[in-house]
Amino acid sequence: MKSRLRYLSALLVNVALPWLAYRLAFPHWGQVGALAASAMPLIAWMTVDLLRYHHFDALSALVLAGVLPALAASLVFSDARLLMIEDPMVSGFIGITFLASLALRKPIVFYLARSTMSREDHRSAELFERHWRNRPKLAAYIRLMTLVWGVGMIGENIVRSAIVLHWPNDPRSALASMALRYGVYAVLTLWTFLIRRRIKQDAQRYPADEPAPAGSPARA
């Protein structure tokens, strides 16, 4: 039950609340105010998580990384169409970074997954490090997740840019663009939870492995 509540809270904070804040703020404050409003749930969640659990929420940081550059651009530039193209380009750049990290020994999703494990239990993060070395299928799943997130965010960039270019002067295109953005995040997050379930099922094939004692150094 705790696992399901954690998944629901991740969807609520990283997808539903930012989109709702954007949707409610846009008619009153425009693009700049709506982007600022969508960032508030993420910043609040990360702050509480950091102060209460001493944990850095990597997923929220990833979503926020797509909002803040777009907000900064909206404060600097005045061309509305340029602003609307600039926002999805941020997601595209993050997607390219995901794909580029596949060339590394440990791709970006490895660190995102380890961050999630450390929130549950710092010993779980150490155990995850050991499983990464000893379970080839886990490493394959992590690389698959990195690939899917990278392709998904690049695809989002292309489609959202096409929406803006096709309807440059229609205010509904901004709402459609942001709806697509958070829709993609929702699909990717749900898919990630399903893959994580498969990873847990695969772990049952291996002998029980107790986490290292608290305070013991984790191997890289």
CA distance 185 to 208: 34
CA distance 127 to 113: 12
CA distance 86 to 78: 12
Residue recorded with tokens 């629901």 = 8
Read off the amino acid at residue 213. P
Confidence band, pLDDT 50/70/90 cuts, at residue 220: very low
Instruction: Indicate if the pLDDT at residue 139 is higher than 80.
Output: yes
What does the chain come to in residues? 220
CA distance 144 to 102: 9
Can you give the pLDDT at residue 208?
52
Q: Encode pLDDT of 81-99 as tens digits.
A: 555 666 666 677 778 888 9
Instruction: Indicate if the pLDDT at residue 213 is higher than 60.
Output: no
Instruction: Indicate if the pLDDT at residue 217 is higher than 60.
Output: no
CA distance 28 to 132: 48
Can you give the pLDDT at residue 210?
47
Contacts of 2 (CB under 8 A, 6+ apart): none
Q: Encode pLDDT of 151-205 as tens digits.
A: 998 998 888 888 877 776 676 777 788 788 888 888 988 888 888 888 877 777 7
Can you give the pLDDT at residue 41?
87
20 or 207, greater pLDDT: 20
Dump strand ranges (E) for 77-177: none
Average pLDDT over residues 31-48: 84
